[in-house]
Every structure is written in C-alpha cells, then in structure tokens.
Amino acid sequence: MQTKYIFITGGVVSGLGKGIAGASIGALLESRGLTVSLMKLDPYINVDAGTMNPFQHGEVFVTEDGAETDLDLGHYERYTNAVLTRKHNFTTGQIYDSVIRKERAGKYLGRTIQVVPHIIDEIKDKITESSQNVDVSIVEIGGTVGDIESLPFMEAIRQFRHDCGRENGIFIHLTLIVYFENGEMKTKPTQHSVGKLREIGIQPDILICRTKYQMPQKIKNKISLFTNVEEDAVINGMDVASVYEVPLMFNEEGLDEKIVEYLHMWTGRPKLQPWADTVDCFKNPVGEVTIAFVGKYVEHRDSYESLNEALAHGGIANRVRVNLRYINSEELGGTHGLDLLQGVHGILVAPGFGERGTDGKIEAVQYARVQKIPFLGICLGLQMAVIEFARNVAKIPNAGSGEFTPNNKDNVIDLMPEQAGQEGTGGSMRLGGYPAVLKKGTLIASVYDSEKIVERHRHRYEVMNDFVPRLEKAGLIISGRHPNRDLVETIELAPEEHPWFIACQYHPELKSKPLKPHPLFASFITAAYQYRGSEKEAEESL
C-alpha cells in the first residue's frame, strides 16, 4: 500500500490553528473511508513537553503508550479514530539526541555528522516510521515559516516529497489574511509567507487562509496569481463558533475534494452527518449549566485544553450548554473565597502539580461534599478529595500528601515504596494507559456500564492503602483499583450521602471525543443539569 502524505506548515504568525486544521483534514478523509495517521514535528529543543511550563506550552497530552506530547496530538485523537503513540511527536531535542546516540555507538562509521544529511535523514526516517499501514499520513510542522529552528524540518519535508513523488505528497500552508475595520483585506503577509516557503524549495499546493470574514473571489484570484496556487485551492479558513464546525466548513470549501484530486485517490463521498449533528447539539442546546472549574493554570486556556473539550463533549451528549466559571484555586479559602462557588451546578477540581493552590482545591471539595453539589475530581483532584475526607470525616486532622509534607506520618497520599529513590522528573511517574477494575454496583461502574476499563495516567503519588480501612469505615467508597498493584483508581460517596461525587486518579479527558463523549463527563453534566432542575424546583416551591 502506497501511503500518501500531507505536510502542513504555517506562516505570518503562530497560533493560527494548524493542529485544528490537520485534525479536521483527518476527520474529512476518514469520513471518506480512508485510514489516517497524524504527526507533529516540534522545532523546540526540549526532549518532550513533560517538563514545560503549562503557561508557555499549554497542556501535556499523554498517549496510550505513555509519551508526554504536544497538545495538538489531543486535537488529532479527538477528531479522528487514530490512536497515536510516541512515534507521532518528535522534537528537535529528540532528533539530535537520537543522532548523537547513534554517533556514540559508532553507527555512522566515523563520518562527520552534519545537519545535511544526518539530521534530515533522521527526520525523514521518523516520518516513515509513524506512517505505517495507513492511507494518508498528515504531518504538521510546528512554528512559523522563517523560524531558524524549523529549517531542518522544512528541508526534510521538501526532500521527502521529492523522494515519494508529487502524486504521493502535497504541501498545505496555513496563513493569515489581515482584516481592517474598514472592510479591507490585505494579502501581502500571505504573499510574503509563501515567498519564504518558496525560497527554501517548497511550493504550497493548497492555501488555507485564516480570515474573519469570507474572502471575495477577487481576493482569492489575487492570492492565486502571486503564489502560484490554483484559485480553487485557496481555501477560506474563517472563524467559527465551535472548532467542531471546521471539518464542515472545509468540506463546503471543497478542501477534501482538492486533496484527493491532488493525491490521485479514489474515495467514497464524505459521510459528515455525525459532525453536523454534533454541531447542531452544540449550537442549539435545550438548557445550560454552570460548572466551577477549579485549577491553578486557569488564566491560560490551553493549559487544560483536553479538559475544556471533554466538558463541552459532556454538554453535547446532553444537548446542554456548559458554561465554565474558571476559578484560580489560590483565590479560594475562607468565607469570602467560597463566594466564587455560589450558584454553580457542578464543581470540577482539575489536575496539577505542586503545592500552590492545593488548600483552595481542598476547600472546593469540602464545599461540593457538604452542599451536595455534583463533583468530579481528576488526578490531583482525587488526591485533594481523599485529604479533605480524611481530615473532615475520617478525623485524621493532619492528613496530607508526601508531595508537600514529606515527613508527615499521616500522609494519606504518598510515593509507593518501590518509587522511593527514583530520580528524574518522569522516572517515578505512572504514564499512559493502565487498567482498572470497578466495584460492582458502584456509581462509576454504572457510568461506564463496565467493570473493566483502561485509562491514561500522568502522576507520581498514590493513595496509601494503610489508610484505606479508616477511610472506608468513615464512608468513602474505593470504587476502582488497579488489578495487579492494588492501587486506588477511583473513589465516590454513597448515593444516600451525595447525589454524584466521583474522583479518579487517571485523566479521562484524554479519551473524550465530540462524536463519542467520555461517559464520565456525560454523566457529570447530566448530574449538574439535574441538580439545577432540583434547585429551580426548590426555589419555585418557596
């Protein structure tokens, strides 16, 4: 099988949405019956995203095999059926590390190691390895054309297309049309961006032009004339209310038809009704709920990209609009701080690392538990829920976490004995997919409609089993465990104690898709909507 290749680059400014564009193209090709793979090549020198500041880089997306990757891989998996691995995200740091290791092992037989050919060939090899057994491989180059650090990747894809042939590879360039308030659209930045590409030997086949409004035909004609791109290959990439409209918009523009034409492929007609139904649910809800989103990085939306989307998916599953009230956990605490939680219909305590803001998260858990507001805790959210319950219900006043109080004998959260002494930021972490067995008859087992699940993890500390009997005696239900290592995976409260209170050690948001919302988020939003209804009924009865 001859795999076809689509290389996506960006120009003018960063943040134009190459990840969404690539994911949408993948969705369109899948709707035509093709199999796809998606890959992100990042120019930064960091080995991976695991140690990068969430404020700078956004969230870390964890793959099933435990790789800490760029957040764009989350877009790829949400929009398509592709299950991506560590082979689908490479950085400059990883490429150079691989080449240097080979040189130290004598693999180059004493040759002088150079960017061309050795670094370039390594990049090309990684592209080939990530593209096995699929009809189309979509490869996104991070950064912006003209960046010094992206030049090796640009040269690699130039060579790759030369090697595989024009009928087997195309270049799609994402660029910006500048719009002025007087209604004038400026194409010069796009012309310069394409010119920069052509200087390094890449002639784009398709242009996706990010615009605020529809480009008139005369603008398309002008862009075509000055970039050598066919007029019907100059595509509108307009701003939309929901990112899940992008595949439909691209289809209306004829993008998928142009792609299969250029790649000389025969496919069926695109089946896009599921996407149309999803967008309809999002744009025409029957109700709405307000969810308190309690986290440490709420000022930067990308820090919780998958979680934001998973909550939206829960709304889509219920045809309910989800309004998120972002609350910095450092602002909670005390009577005044808890005012921020007034009027919400559900409380989510988000993941995170480090002690900052944990007191506020514990306050949020207690408020949700006492006020019987639907509650979902994820990763650190579970650990804060266990600490809150231990302190205030199980009467372990000094309950804490070894992450913050390492010498505390009442740490209900701590490292497992086998983790002690392990060094390196990722060395002692549980990363990737792990199984869990859910306790029969529990709320979470009914949510999943299964007693066996596999979910993705990214954490270091665990619930200490020595304290579990005391917690269970006080009423905490340990509803899910790792089958082999007997680690706590999920907790909940009995229905007579709380209408919907669940926390999980894993990250369910990483597996949620708009066409297949994760059951935990769908159930959480259902509970929030029911809570709002019961609250409204109580008000009306007064």
Catalytic residues, by residue number, are: 379, 507, 509
Beta bridge partner(s), residue 136 = 4, 36
331 in Cβ contact with 360 (< 8 Å) = yes
Neighbours of 539 (CB within 10 A): 8
Record the tokens describing residue 203, joined without a space.
């002639």
Q: What ranges in 60-141 are assigned the alpha helix state H?
A: 72-79, 92-104, 120-129
First and final CA of the chain: distance in angstroms? 69
Distance CA 426, CA 62 (A): 12
Q: What would the two tokens of residue 296 be?
A: 């440490």
- The edge-to-edge listing of strands for the beta sheet with 400-401 is 400-401, 411-414, 462-463
Q: ∠431-432-436 over CA atoms, to 5°?
A: 105
Q: Which amino acid is at 8?
A: I
Contact in structure between 417 and 467 (CB atoms under 8 Å) = no
In the 8-state DSSP scheme, what is residue 513?
B
User: 502 pairs with which residues across the strands?
Assistant: 376, 492
Joined tokens for residue 328 = 């910095």
Neighbours of 415 (CB within 10 A): 19
- Residues with Cβ within 8 Å of 367's Cβ and at least 6 positions away in sequence, in order, are 338, 341, 347, 373
Write out the two tokens for 453: 């699940």
Q: Which two tokens mark 99?
A: 């080449």
DSSP 202: -
Cβ pair 357, 330 in contact under 8 A = yes
